[in-house]
Amino acid sequence: MVDAETKKMTGNLLFDLAISLGAVALLVVLSVLLGGLRNAEVTLDSAVARARLDEPDFEAEEWLIDREGRAAVAVSGKGEALLAFAVGDRIATRRVLLQSVAAAADGKSLRLAVKDSTVPVFSLAAKDTATAMKWLGHFSGPD
Amino acid sequence: MEFPDVVTMAVPAFVVLIVIEMVAWRLSGRGDYEARDSAASLIMGLGSQIAPLFGGAAIVAAILFAAYEFRIFEAPNTWWAVALCFVVDDFRYYWWHRISHERRWFWASHVIHHSSQHYNLTTALRQTWTGAVLGALLFKAPLAVLGFHPLMLAFVGGLNLVYQFWIHTEMIGRLGPLEWIMNTPSHHRVHHATNPRYLDANYAGTFILWDRLFGTFIPEDQDERPRYGIIKNLGTFNPVKIAFHEWIGIARDVVQARSFREALGYAFGPPGWSPDGSRMTSKMIKARAAKFDADKIPASDLQSLPAE
């Protein structure tokens, strides 16, 4: 008797779960069809504007803007960097110490990572290899 | 009097209202309804209904029924007792919600609800997967001791949750005299905003009176549109990372703490607390904003920096 009751409850739960997943899928598909997959473009204007809102006391000396518009990074004279990156159709930022950024360059591409699971590892396409190497120097420090 | 599961009953209405809002949002030319953000919110909502089945719901029920055994009074099973219970529970919600913003341990659960940079009806469903047990122990159990039956408490709690669904929208403006008494979309937009002047405000569930009474009310300023999200906005739509990121942050900080006092500060201090002040609490952010007037960006500044 208990087994039958347990089976019925489990069945109801699974039915509710299936209905709920169906509703979630329906809503997500609808939002996609309505144009909900647009990505924010990170430009100098949008990155600076966001930086001024999130970190108004960060004094950027120089910006590197990803040529594909996915991310940007700025450095200050105080040993800090400001990362700005697209999250869907919005931009998020992180202010970090230069020494906490793991950086690597591959040709024109500069790859940046920080120890924060909520910040994606991202690549910035610089205009040329020399620029990527120069920026790599910001994170690697003097030899 | 029987107490139905109002949250489950309301789910079809939630779905229909979200569809209406999505279409209205598009037709009104307000931009796109971010699909990945909405998906994350909906999955968090679904997860919040499943997570208690792993033991939390049973523990909460056990706590409340045990507390009810020590009741001082006994609220009768009548409509007016339910109405009284709703008001008392809303008062309870105000304080639970306030501490959920003011202490990092509680914020670690609640941050999930604020982690979207969007504000729409799907945001209402972006709910925590953790934190129910401590909330019940500290804040709901006293109501059971007062004499409200656990099933009545569950019912009014569900009503409160359902009420708060529709206020998560930008599609509704101000609502006249209702703004004095009730929590409204306008008041709750302020609560979800990260603009420094809007931080730490409007904790109400149903009645905004609590905020007016305890000095945490801030009205929405038509000249300053809310910016939604959290101070360090998430760069991910991964539900698992959304659910646990702040707990991981607490664990990392506590492990690296140099003293027991520091560990306590990291876990139970205000969100953003650090021993050397290198991070920002909401009070520090407000003070910084007052200094930098961050929300007014001169257009000339946008072109003034070198870029490569």
Task: List the CATH number of the domain containing A116.
Answer: 2.30.29
Q: Is B297 contained in some domain?
A: no
* Residues A92/B274, Cβ–Cβ less than 8 Å: no
* Residue B274 placed within a domain: yes
Position with higher pLDDT, B295 vs B27: B27
A25 & A89 share domain: no
Domain assignment present for B189: yes
Contact B308/A127, CB-based, under 8 Å? yes
Give the angle B219-B222-B226 at the CA atoms, nearest 5°.
75
Q: Do A36 and B292 touch (CB under 8 A)?
A: no
Do A63 and B241 count as a contact with CB atoms less than 8 A apart?
no
Which two three-digit tokens encode residue A43? 């430009």
**Do B31 and A89 count as a contact with CB atoms less than 8 A apart?**
yes
Residue B308 lies in a domain: no
pLDDT at B233: 98
Give the E-state strand segments of chain B in sequence order.
none
- B39 interaction partners in chain A (CB closer than 8 Å): 24, 28, 31
Instruction: Classify residue B25: in a domain, yes or no.
Output: no
Q: How much is the pLDDT for B296?
A: 55
Does residue A104 share a domain with residue A57? yes
pLDDT over 50 (residue B300): no
Helices (H), B197-269: 209-214, 239-256, 260-268
Domain extent, residue A93, equals 44-140
- Measured between beta carbons, the chain A residues lying within 8 angstroms of B37 are 88
Distances (CA, A) of B64 to B95, B130, B148, B152: 18, 18, 10, 11
Residue in B50, B234, B295 nearest the CB of A118: B234
Portion 35-64 of A in contact with B at CB < 8 A: 35-38, 44-45, 48-49, 52-54, 56-57, 60-64
At A9-23, the pLDDT tens digits run: 788 888 888 999 999
Contact B153, A58 (CB under 8 A): no
Tokens of B308: 């490569």
Q: Is residue B298 in a domain? A: no
- Average pLDDT over chain B, rounded to an integer: 93
Residues A89 and A107 in one domain: yes
Q: Do B32 and A27 touch (CB under 8 A)?
A: no
Q: Please indicate, yes or no, whether residues A24 and A50 belong to a single structural domain of this protein.
A: no
Residue A27 CB coordination number (10 Å): 24
Best B14, B18, B36 residue to mutate vs chain A (most A CBs within 10 Å): B36
Preferred mutation among A10, A14, A31, A122 to probe B, highest tally of B CBs within 10 A: A31
Nearest CB neighbour to B294, from listed A23, A52, A63: A52
**Residue among A82, A95, A90 at smallest CA distance from A41:** A90
| Contact by Cβ (8 Å): B60, A53 | no
Q: What CA–CA distance (Å, rounded) separates A110 from A31?
A: 33
Tell me if B223 is assigned to some domain: yes
Cα separation, B211 vs B218, whole angstroms? 8
Nearest Cα to A91, choosing from A57, A60, A131, A120? A120
**In which residue are the tokens 């029987």 written?**
B2
CA–CA separation, B228 vs B218, rounded Å?
16
Q: Which of A56, A93, A120 comes nearest B288 by C-beta?
A: A56
Is pLDDT of A105 > 90? yes
> Could you give the number of structural domains in chain B?
1
How many angstroms separate the most distant Cα atoms in chain B?
A: 72
Q: What's the average model confidence in pLDDT over B145-162?
A: 97
pLDDT of residue B135: 85
Which element (helix H / strand E) includes A73?
Answer: strand A71-76
Does residue B113 contact residue B128 with C-beta atoms inside 8 Å? yes
Percent of chain B clearing pLDDT 70 (strictly above): 95
The CA distances from residue B226 to B185, B188, B260, B297, in Å, are 12, 10, 38, 15
Which residue in A has a C-alpha nearest to residue B46's C-alpha? A20
Whether residue A31 is found in the same domain as residue A52: no
Query: For helices B104-114 and B260-268, what crossing angle results, to 10°?
Result: 30
Helices (H), A37-128: 44-54
Check: CB of residue A109 under 8 Å from CB of residue A124.
yes
Number of domains in chain A: 2
Of B11, B43, B245, the CB nearest to A118: B245
Instruction: Say whether pLDDT at B167 is over 80.
Output: yes
d(CA A118, CA B32): 23
Q: How many CB atoms lie within 10 A of CB B125?
A: 23
d(CA A74, CA A58): 9
CA angle B46, B47, B49 (to 5 degrees): 70
Task: Give the 3-state secondary structure of residue A109.
Answer: strand
Domain assignment present for B232: yes
- pLDDT mean over A70-90: 96
Q: pLDDT over 70 for what percent of chain A?
A: 96
Give the confidence band of B303 by pLDDT, cuts at 50, 70, 90: very low
| Residue A24 contacts residue B43 (beta carbons within 8 Å) | yes
**How many CA atoms within 13 Å lie on the side-chain side of B281?**
17
What's the pLDDT score for residue B245? 97
Confidence of residue A142 (pLDDT cuts 50, 70, 90): very low
Inter-chain CB proximity B297 and A52 less than 8 Å: yes
Q: How is residue B307 written in tokens?
A: 């870029």
Q: Which residue in chain B has the smallest CA separation from A95?
A: B232
Check if the beta carbon of residue B195 is closer than 8 Å to that of residue B230: no
User: Taking 50 as the threshold, does the pLDDT of residue A90 lie above it?
Assistant: yes
Q: Which of A27, A64, A126 lies closest to B38 in CB terms?
A: A27
Q: What letter represents residue A135's amino acid?
A: W
Q: Cα(B18)–Cα(B35) distance, rounded to whole angstroms? A: 12
From edge to edge, which strands make up the β-sheet containing A122-125? A102-106, A109-113, A122-125
Cβ-nearest to A117 among B245, B289, B297: B245
Q: How many CB atoms lie within 10 A of CB B36?
A: 18
Domain that holds residue B232: 1-20+33-292
Q: Which of A97, A63, A64, A94 is nearest to A80 (CA)?
A: A97
Residue B213 touches chain A, beta carbons under 8 Å:
no
Q: Which tokens is A34 given?
A: 């309505």
A127 and A73 within one domain: yes
Q: How much is the pLDDT for B308? A: 54
In this prediction the ipTM stands at 0.92
Q: CA-CA distance, B261 to A55, in Å (whole number)?
A: 29
pTM value is: 0.93
Q: How many CB pairs under 8 A join A and B?
A: 140
- Most confident listed range (A6-20, B24-38, B197-211): B197-211
In sequence order, the 6+-apart residues with CB closer than 8 A to the CB of B203 are B94, B97, B98, B101, B191, B210, B211, B216
* CA-based nearest distance B42→chain A, Å: 6
